[in-house]
Amino acid sequence: MQSGQKGSILIVDDEETIRASLSDILQDDGYYTDTARSGRQAIQKAAAGDFDVVMLDYMMPALDGMDVMKELKKLKPGMKIIMMTAFATVEHAVEAVKKGANDYICKPYATDKLLATISRVLEEARFEEDLKTSDSENAFYTIASPIRREIMNLLYFRGSMRLMDITRHLDVDDHTKIAFHLKSMKEAGMVEQHTHMGSHTHMGSGTIIDISSRGYN
């Protein structure tokens, strides 16, 4: 990535017009881009380069997006991946997110939605990097749990949420599971708890959970 650029992005799609269009849009918005026409080429370029985000087409010949993502995660576990899919295969993209993709966009894509998605994924990457460089041992222990990382990411972008809203957003059936994780995060100093007057304490339904200001925002 050159100085002054917003980030480096590898665009992976077997259609040349898609690669060219995305590259033009992203370069105009201040990103460095490279492209790959196949899954194998994407793996080679990702191994040799240092990309902040890989935009990966779900439907490709030979190696499809899921296969490529699996290989990329082996090479660089922290690599950020945005899956690209047609409207008809949106359920596949959702499945990809469950298996490690950071987000997805639908084709044909709206430019504002595209740029917002990339910006959000990069913000998440910067946030995780801040946590890695934190000198708090408790922070490292706390984010070892995938569900706690999801909670931290959620609060980072939302600012504050009620316990039940967090539970619903993460699609967890039992809110006491979230309360348990929040208790550990509170003890580590990573979240703060505020309770409205008249509502239950101990992470009750009226509890507002905020991300801690102690070095995490």
Residue tagged 């460089």 (tokens):
133
CATH 1.10.10.10 fits 135-211, yes or no: yes
What is the Rg, in whole angstroms, of the alpha carbon atoms belonging to the chain?
A: 19
Tell me which of 3.40.50.1000, 3.30.300.30, 3.40.50.2300, 3.30.1600.10 is the CATH number of domain 8-130. 3.40.50.2300
Backbone phi, psi, residue 215, to 5°: 90, 10
Render pLDDT for 12-57 as a digit per residue (tens, 0 to 9). 999 999 999 999 999 999 999 999 999 999 999 999 999 999 999 9
The boundaries of every CATH 1.10.10.10 domain in the chain are 135-211
Render pLDDT for 176-193 as a digit per residue (tens, 0 to 9). 888 888 887 887 777 777
Question: Which residue, 210, 215, 195, 35, is CA-closest to 138?
Answer: 215
200 or 39, higher pLDDT: 39
Cβ(82)–Cβ(109) below 8 Å: no
Query: CB 203: neighbour CB atoms within 10 A?
Result: 23
